[in-house]
Structure 1
């Protein structure tokens, strides 16, 4: 059913216009609007006739009034773009178009205003502008510029960031030739020239070319360049690429490398062993001293290995326990004296420290170890102790010797003085002859004492003694021949069990004296109830050649005389030929050769002497 129209056909036609349209009289009142206008601005027929355009749009500027006045005068002008809000307070953008409104007599009675909704276009443009701004800000932050090259017209474009990197003015117009000129002559210019050539000839892309340029202001910079070909309908039409300023990063990398080299040089030239271990006790850094200690030239032969691969198991296990304690407790080990033994048996004394390495959270991610080789120091310390011990022994000997000299010379002096006094007062000639005979004996005894003392002094002060290698078996046989009459007269048996090829290191004259004294004593102090039997044997042990001389004689009470056994003029048996000088001289000769003597004895059973000849020193 067709409805009866309530307004004129013209009015209904206006309402159906497809765009928001308004008819405004010369007083700026809205006379008629299209339904599109009404739906946007919530207008209706009742209020259209009484509402002013500037009441609906209070924010319109005076410029718009002037534009409408010109339209009323038959001179329409573009009104431009205006932002407004719809009934739901949504932001809308419209382009306003105006034209004169004529009556049937061609008189201008107002203006026709038509709106084009360009909200989407404006929003898209704003979004593009926002993206361009973000890209520009990102380019400025990351210092990544872009460039484009149009092969058809040979035009090169640089963005503002690319120009800034080259330090040229914003209005600078680049070309391919000038762009290549900025690359540093040599590798950089050759590399980018080749990349451009291959891209134009073969369409080959390039990226991450690390090159140097010289800017318009003469500064050297490191840059990262990349590019690729662009095509239109399968035809190459140009190139596009990026251009990044990486100078700060490269300079930081160079400084880091220089610092690492400096640190490496310092570590490698320290006179201590330095290493770093991870939490699994794997060595991840070692210096030159540690390499030399472990017997390698290349640190890579050691890196990644644990102590279990470098040291005996027990030592490695102990080291691992110490590593874990340092990393778990975060307490360093400082200046600990240790002795390390490598798998090949090499022993070294170290003053070692282990210090935990902590991350930003205070958790240990490894440790640094520092070891100072003190082997030479320990040897010197040992030598010093030996010197002190020797000095102590020598001082004791000197004091003992001084007492002996003092005692013996004083005894002889008193004896001489007494005999001379008797001689001076004696009137009997026969008695005088007897006293003179006694003085001669005393003189001989004094001379013998002086000879003994002189020999002791000679042994202890002679620093030019010459050690030679001597066949001990042959030497024993020679001494036995020299003592053959003495041995035969005492009905003694000498049993030589020394290997025929057994050699020792000794001073020849000292060895003669040592063998003569020990063999003579062994026979001299024989037991009256059995024939004398003296046995000699020899062996090598712990840097010593050991000569053993045992007898079946009287024996010595070591509990009583042990400390006096090698003292001067000490005798332990009633024997007419006992003088107490032989063992004293022999002990001094053995000491002078860095040897030693051990004795075991049982009263009535016999005595055994072990003479140690030092083979090493």
Structure 2
């Protein structure tokens, strides 16, 4: 640039720094020398074309122009250098990332500076918007030019006042018969439907109604526009049946196009290839250039291609009907594969065949699996056991006669079903542990025993062996299931197990019964003996005698309660393990148990704290619950600390509608729970050798809770005390 051109220009008393001014400009400001080389460009170049100024300066302007626009841009530059100003020139530049953008230039050539001064603005969005608007206008214009709507006019009372010839042609109406008729009398099938609803809304609101409806009687789709006026409604009908059908066809084609794993080939009416998709090239190896102008069969068929199937394909193409076929084909590199093809003929509006569309899918693995299945089926058909062959999704593909004889289902009934649903046990109370299914994926045989449901509603116990089948690629393709009937053996096992359970339960009940007799009866009997001894020494007319008599009565009542509860225990034992559970007042049973120890608690100066509601209910056996409290209170008294008065705390936690939790704690001598771990609730286990006892109490507590569906937890510390958490089942 010549010396005369300066960065700083004086204007009156102001100074303008033009380079700084250019850098804050959002448009791209630049200069070119006489040879068309950039000598300056501002920072906007980075935002507009992606290049920094230093990447542009000293480069020819054509390096950044879209190739198709270079010639016209050079012509404009030459025009500018002749002295013409241009403010509206547009061309396309190539962004650094490769995309093309449209810019508008304002340029002037300075002969004095031998420099072209230019300013460029990115108008890509404006051009795109204009292009979109133009395309929409073209579509709308084409639509408007092709519309030949039917018109029907009704008054405010729904009387038909006019309809044109197109309406008469499209609709089942006659101008000589239906003018002046009530609209809904002419079209009674529309009452309550889409048209009825929209037209009434337009009439009542004055708003325009536009909707689409299907006329079943005519088998046509109509787009309807209804315009409201003071006189009534003007209703325009447009037959869009072809549009709807075309839309549905396009949706189908879009669905096909979305299946990128499938090959698509389009031929003309003579079977000459016009186009193939990338999926076809991926599948067969042949490119579009390989296929265009040739018949697909010429390139894809080979020595093992079945000629009978080829003949069938030719016949169906000649008939111009859609069809499906599976054929051995060959890829470009000579690999043999099985192809399932669906061929659809495409016709013009005039009904002339214009092309065929073929959808191709590789079914080699499926065919090989079917062949393997046939071989397995041949072997399996000879065995008496039940045999199933399932695919990788556990859908049954084949069953033998032995399966039908064993389970009652024919092959037709079993095909496509999953064994876990079809053969689900009708009574699943007795099942083995879950089989190690993960071993199947390691290629290992899995065996298990389980009851399976027969078609007739009965169960059969089966020994099941499952073998996984893998293809050459190591992919799991199918399962072979062999069933052996072991019902008789399993019934014998269950009968023996039931006998063992009965013996164990009876023995356990006998132990519990013996303990209740020896423990729970002792307290009221001892009380009664003590009271009678006192009464023999007291004056029969004294107050002490009356009090003792009252205590004696209570002890006898307690004795009667225990005897009745013992009778309940005997009944429970005789019911073969079906323990009777009922709604029991926990507080009432607790009070009974505490009353049986009243004398011992008083003599020990024991403090009993109860924090439960007055009416606390649980689902339990009353006799068992009484025995639980009786044993816990007895233990608290027996193992109380010598250096402090006994304190017993009984609390209730939780929502008794869900479950009942009872905390029973004392400040007794305690024991070492770590040392006693695993033995606390075992029979005859004792942790205080210096005290009398037989080690039955806690055993019975846990046994009773187990029988009632509850459980117990314990924490204890030597010299501090013991806490039991009792969980009873919900009501």
The answer, yes or no, to whether TM exceeds 0.5 is: no
> Which structure ranks higher in relative contact order (CA pairs < 8 Å, sequence separation ≥ 6)?
1
Normalised to the residue count of structure 1, the TM-score between the two structures is 0.30
User: Which one has a bigger Cα radius of gyration?
Assistant: 1
Normalised to the residue count of structure 2, the TM-score between the two structures is 0.27
